[in-house]
Structure 1
Amino acid sequence: MFAVIKTGGKQYRVAAEDVITIEKLDAAPGEAVTFGEVLMVGSEIGTPFVSGASVAGEVVEQTRGDKVIHFVKRRRKSWKKKKGHRQDLTVVRITGILTASAAAEASAKAPKAVVAEDA
């Protein structure tokens, strides 16, 4: 099963055990993250999001992308400008895709908590 999630203004097609590189998240390596903006799960398409669906992941590392050089030169004017940029990135391993029906089934299968009353 696959899902399409939205994070950092971009959309990613993910499946379980995929490793994706996304824009920086405020999370340390080893922390669990949840993506709630799920646009599509399998053949179910959201309007705009699929209600009750989420994608769980684990942060692998915080890294930086390649340097991008922006160079501008105007001919015959002895004028040039050079700028560089490196984007902060987060590497995430997708651990699971949870739909609303799967969440309901999991809660139904879980043992009910018994509350003891003092008599």
Structure 2
Amino acid sequence: MYAIVCTGGKQYRVTEGEVITVERIPGEVGDAVELKDILLVKGEEDLRIGAPTVEGALIQGQIVRQDRGKKIIVFKHKRRKGYRKKQGHRQDLTWLRIQKIEMGGNEVPSSALSEEEHGRLLMLDIISAQANPSLTPSEEEHAGGE
């Protein structure tokens, strides 16, 4: 089982027992953490895709370490103008051990669609893209009302 979770503005693919490095999460070493911004959960048999997040899904973890990342150098300059600026930056980081991934039981898994229905939906997407190639899928929804 794995999940894709969003924390600190970044997305991570996590499995149970894995240790991941994320941007700083408030708390002390040993504290329990719950991540609720889950975009996708893949179980043994089913796949749940959120729109935008999976309702009821939850990832439980524990803070293993709070530290700072490696120093990076930010160097800005403008040629022929004598302008140079050098700065260093160290990001605050948290190491999380993923203990449990819960799927949430209220949703219909995407595998509930038959292959025929999946194919029909895919063909509709392809046909609509060919009919108006200049529009992205999100623009197609808005273009119909005009």
Into which bin does the TM-score normalised by the smaller protein fall? 0.7 to 0.9
Q: What does residue 38 of structure 1 align with?
A: 38
Most deviating of 39-48 and 76-85: 76-85
Q: Which aligned pairs between 1:76-95 and structure 2 lie closer than 5 A?
A: 76-95=80-99
Dislocated runs of 4+, deviation >6 Å: none
Query: Structure 1 residue aligned with 2:53, among 49, 71, 76?
Result: 49
Query: Structure 2 residue aligned with 1:73, among 60, 64, 77?
Result: 77
Please tell me the residue identity of whatever aligns with 2:34. Answer: T
Please tell me the residue identity of whatever aligns with 1:31. Answer: D
Q: What does residue 103 of structure 2 align with?
A: 99
Aligned length: 101
Please tell me the residue identity of whatever aligns with 1:63. Answer: D
Post-superposition shift, 1:61? 0.6
CA 81–97 in structure 1, closer or farther in 2 if over 3 Å, else same: same
Listed as ranges, the gaps of 5+ residues in structure 2 are 106-146
Post-superposition shift, 1:80? 1.9
Query: TM-score, normalised to structure 2's length?
Result: 0.66
Please tell me the residue identity of whatever aligns with 1:50. Answer: V
Give 3-state SS (helix, strand or coil) of 1:100's partner. Answer: coil
- Alpha-carbon distance in 1 for matches of 2:77, 2:103: 53
- Alpha-carbon distance in 2 for matches of 1:40, 1:51: 10
Post-superposition shift, 1:100? 1.4
Please tell me the residue identity of whatever aligns with 1:52. Answer: G
**Relative to total residues, which structure has the larger strand share, 1 or 2?**
1
Q: Which aligned pairs between 1:4-15 and structure 2 lie closer than 5 A?
A: 4-15=4-15
- Alpha-carbon distance in 1 for matches of 2:38, 2:12: 10
Give 3-state SS (helix, strand or coil) of 2:20's partner. Answer: strand
**Relative to total residues, which structure has the larger helix share, 1 or 2?**
2
Listed as ranges, the gaps of 5+ residues in structure 1 are 102-119
Flag the structure with more relative contact order, 1 or 2, with Cα contacts below 8 A and sequence separation at least 6: 1
Q: CA RMSD, aligned part only?
A: 1.2
